């Protein structure tokens, strides 16, 4: 069975605060905090709160082309949303997994004339092509953040619906550590749009 790490909202908040402590202990005070969409948005927003820094920006990086085909290298689908010339920048993402998104963001922001760039993530995986300047935990597990719960439930349903009953999919999700009330509510409310009859047939 694949190794999962299910992160709660409280854990996410605490880890981001610890990240803030680590960065400020290093005396690093960015002019602009940039979140990589979508995973980096929430930790970037929290770091901005902790810093008391209202200057945030985002950059959207995806591994899919215009035809929704997976690509090996990241594609910047939304350039940096703030002028960064001559500025000190902190790029934030939730995890350095392949590391390719971080590298793409660094290269793009360098091209925009940033004075200094550092990176921060909550998790770092050893196989990443880049090690963030700041991170909290190192893991090789499949991380599921609370802001991804719905997406992950939908992914498991789509992946397993032809080989597992919805009851067994729900059990798997709960066993992994997704909060049971959320699993039940998601199946009852969200996936009911066009899928409820099919799921009911699978459970019978």
| pLDDT tens for each residue of 60-102 | 988 765 544 556 778 888 889 889 999 999 999 999 999 999 9
Lowest-pLDDT range of 84-88, 100-104, 146-150, 194-198? 194-198
- pLDDT at residue 193 in the model: 62
Q: What is the pLDDT of residue 201?
A: 42
What local confidence, expressed as pLDDT, does residue 13 receive?
Answer: 97
Residue 165, pLDDT score:
87
Spacing of C-alpha 180 from chain mean position: 22
From residue 137, how far is each of 11, 32, 70 by CA, in Å?
Answer: 12, 24, 28
Give per-residue burial for 47-80: e unless 16+ CB within 10 Å, then b. bbebbeeeebbbbbbbeeeeeeeeeeebeeeeeb
Closest by Cα among 179, 158, 190 to 6: 179
Q: What local confidence, expressed as pLDDT, does residue 73 receive?
A: 79
Q: Nearest CA to 61 among 15, 117, 106, 111? A: 106
Fold of domain 4-144: Rossmann fold (3.40.50)
User: What tokens appear for 101 in the block?
Assistant: 């998104």
Predicted local distance difference test score (pLDDT) of residue 17: 98
Q: Looking at per-residue confidence, does 54 or 67 come out higher?
A: 54
What are the domain boundaries of the chain? 4-144, 146-203
pLDDT digits (tens, 9 = 90+) for 163-181: 998 889 999 999 999 999 9
> Is 82 within 8 Å of 57 (Cβ atoms)?
yes
- The string of pLDDT tens digits covering residues 22-36 is 999 999 999 999 999
**What region does 8 belong to: left with phi over 0, alpha with psi -120 to 50, or beta?**
beta
pLDDT on residue 190: 63
| Angstrom distance (rounded) from CA 11 to CA 122 | 10
pLDDT at 157 over 50: yes
Q: Is 72 helix (H, G, I), strand (E, B) or coil?
A: strand
Residues facing 37 on adjacent strands: 60
Higher pLDDT, 82 or 50: 50
From residue 4, alpha-carbon distances to 48, 122, 139, 141, 173 in Å are 29, 16, 10, 5, 11
Residue 143 contacts residue 11 (beta carbons within 8 Å): no
- The string of pLDDT tens digits covering residues 105-130 is 999 999 999 999 999 999 999 999 99
CA nearest 82: which of 103, 58, 105, 61? 58
Per-residue pLDDT at 194: 54
Instruction: Label residue 200 by pLDDT band (50, 70, 90).
Output: very low
């Amino acid at each position: 069975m694949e190794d999962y790490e299910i992160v709660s909202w409280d854990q996410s908040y605490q880890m981001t605060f610890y990240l803030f402590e680590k960065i400020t202990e290093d005396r690093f005070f960015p002019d602009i905090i940039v979140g990589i969409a979508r995973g980096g948005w929430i930790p970037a927003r929290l770091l901005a709160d902790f810093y008391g820094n209202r200057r945030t920006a985002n950059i959207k990086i995806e591994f899919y082309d215009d035809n929704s085909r997976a690509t090996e290298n990241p594609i910047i689908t939304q350039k940096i949303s703030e002028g960064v010339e001559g500025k000190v920048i902190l790029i934030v993402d939730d995890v350095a997994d392949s590391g390719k998104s971080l590298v793409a963001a660094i290269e793009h922001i360098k091209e925009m004339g940033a004075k200094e760039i550092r990176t921060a993530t909550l998790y770092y995986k050893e196989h990443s092509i880049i090690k963030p300047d700041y991170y909290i935990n190192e893991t090789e597990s499949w991380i599921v953040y609370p802001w991804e719960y719905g997406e992950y439930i939908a992914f498991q349903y789509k992946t397993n619906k032809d080989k597992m009953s919805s009851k067994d999919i729900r059990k798997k999700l709960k066993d992994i550590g997704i909060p049971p009330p959320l699993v039940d509510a998601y199946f009852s409310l969200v996936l009911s749009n066009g899928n409820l009859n099919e799921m009911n047939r699978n459970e019978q």
